[in-house]
């Protein structure tokens, strides 16, 4: 009998694992909630509600190069649909957020090249206002909303935590609601859109970024003495430029070998946040490229602390 004990132990372990997995909370997904209208089309989002909700909302924006990497045709994949297929990166973090009790909202925003920065950030702000305005319907705390994103999504998340568009002159009541989030988590974010063409960066990265920014912004930055400067649209599209004493706390993940976003972007952003006494934490991962892996227990603690 003793010689069979390891087999029985393995079977018992597998049975316990399956039992534990089946009992873990499964979020309820509501697809294609209309959060606004733009350019004659509905703006859609999917909502993931955990079985044991903590009544805190997180806006998650996946990376997409603002649509630059997506096919420019009628059948191009929606951002929130792409999330469903991304089981190795984005989907892992969203599922983890739900396991901690957060209600997660993943949106479609308009894509380049047909649309540019002003259109895309307007969609993101509209989504925050929609969730906040309908907080009772979603059973969440509308006064304290968090946001998490990767790459281009992290850039947009950063803007949401650093600026607001509340305007009491709007005709629709929903437009009088704040579009600012109260805590953010960013991964591989471009924080300064004019600091991506240094001679220290690879020629391949520079060529890609030139094309990307021209498509996203509709033009290259203003140039003075052969140096790009933060002004106009590029100022408003760069979280680094928007930091003030009203900035929301930011947990930042980056990698030391990101082939697209140089490490200095994160270190410069972190230094400026601390100069304004903003709660901030920078985690530099080793050799994880453009997909740094967040510690989700740390992410959970961050949102718990700053979404009280």
What mean pLDDT is predicted for residues 89-106?
91
Closest to 154 (Cα-Cα) out of 34, 245, 258: 258
Conformation bin of residue 151: beta by default, left when phi > 0, alpha when psi is -120 to 50: left
What mean pLDDT is predicted for residues 212-226?
89
Give the helix ranges, DSSP H, for 54-116: 79-85, 90-99
Burial (0-12, 13-18, 19+ Cβ within 10 Å), 300: middle
Q: In which band, very low, low, confident or very high, does the pLDDT at 76 lie, cut at 50, 70 and 90?
A: low
Contact 35, 121 (CB under 8 A): no
Q: Which domains does the chain have, with CATH numbers?
A: 23-192+236-306 (3.40.50.1820)
The beta strand positions in 24-140, using DSSP E, are: 28-38, 41-49, 57-61, 103-107
Where is average pLDDT lowest: 57-71, 107-121, 148-162, 279-293? 57-71
H or E segment at 147? strand 145-150
pLDDT one-digit tens code per residue, 126-184: 999 999 999 999 999 999 999 999 999 999 999 999 999 876 666 788 989 999 999 99
Task: Return the pLDDT at 284.
Answer: 98
The pTM (predicted TM-score) of the whole model is 0.87
Task: Return the pLDDT at 92.
Answer: 86
The rounded percent of the chain whose pLDDT value lies above 70 is 81
- Compute the distance between CA of residue 161 and CA of residue 280 in angstroms, rounded to an integer: 12
pLDDT one-digit tens code per residue, 172-184: 889 899 999 999 9
Task: Return the pLDDT at 166.
Answer: 76
Within 10 Å of residue 9's Cβ, how many Cβ atoms? 10
Task: Return the pLDDT at 39.
Answer: 84
CA Rg, the chain, in Å?
A: 21
pLDDT at 32 over 90: yes
> What number of CA atoms fall less than 13 Å from residue 287's CA on the CB side?
0
Task: Return the pLDDT at 255.
Answer: 97
Burial (0-12, 13-18, 19+ Cβ within 10 Å), 55: middle
Residues 6+ apart with CB under 8 A from 139: 53, 55, 103
pLDDT at 290 over 90: yes
Per the model's pLDDT, the better-predicted residue between 61 and 166 turns out to be 61
pLDDT one-digit tens code per residue, 237-257: 999 999 999 999 999 999 999
Q: Identify the bridge partners of residue 268 per DSSP, sorted by sequence position.
A: none
């Amino acid at each position: 009998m003793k010689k069979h004990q390891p087999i029985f132990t393995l079977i018992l372990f597998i049975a316990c694992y399956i039992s534990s997995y089946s009992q873990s909370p499964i979020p309820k997904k509501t697809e294609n909630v209309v959060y606004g209208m733009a350019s004659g089309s509905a703006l859609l989002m999917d909502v993931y509600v955990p079985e044991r909700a903590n009544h805190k909302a997180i806006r998650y924006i996946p990376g997409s190069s603002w649509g630059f990497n997506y096919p420019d045709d009628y059948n191009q994949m929606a951002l929130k649909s792409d999330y469903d297929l991304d089981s190795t990166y984005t989907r892992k973090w969203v599922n983890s957020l739900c396991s901690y009790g957060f209600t997660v909202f993943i949106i479609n925003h308009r894509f380049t090249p047909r649309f540019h920065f002003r259109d895309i950030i307007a969609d993101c702000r509209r989504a925050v206002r929609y969730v906040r305005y309908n907080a009772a319907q979603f059973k969440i705390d509308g006064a304290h909303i968090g946001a998490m994103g990767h790459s281009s999504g992290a850039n947009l998340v950063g803007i949401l935590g650093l600026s607001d568009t509340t305007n009491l002159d709007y005709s629709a009541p929903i437009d009088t609601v704040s579009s600012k989030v109260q805590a953010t988590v960013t991964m591989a974010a471009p924080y300064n859109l004019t600091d991506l063409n240094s001679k220290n960066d690879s020629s391949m990265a520079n060529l890609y970024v030139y094309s990307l920014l021209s498509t996203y912004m509709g033009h290259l930055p203003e140039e003075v003495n052969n140096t790009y400067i933060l002004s106009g649209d590029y100022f408003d599209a760069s979280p680094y430029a928007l930091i003030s004493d009203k900035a929301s706390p930011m947990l930042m993940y980056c990698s030391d070998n990101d082939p697209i976003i140089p490490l200095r972007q994160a270190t410069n952003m972190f230094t400026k946040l601390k100069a304004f006494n903003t709660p901030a934490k920078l985690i530099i991962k080793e050799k994880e490229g453009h997909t740094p892996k967040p510690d989700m227990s740390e992410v959970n603690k961050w949102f718990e602390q700053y979404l009280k």
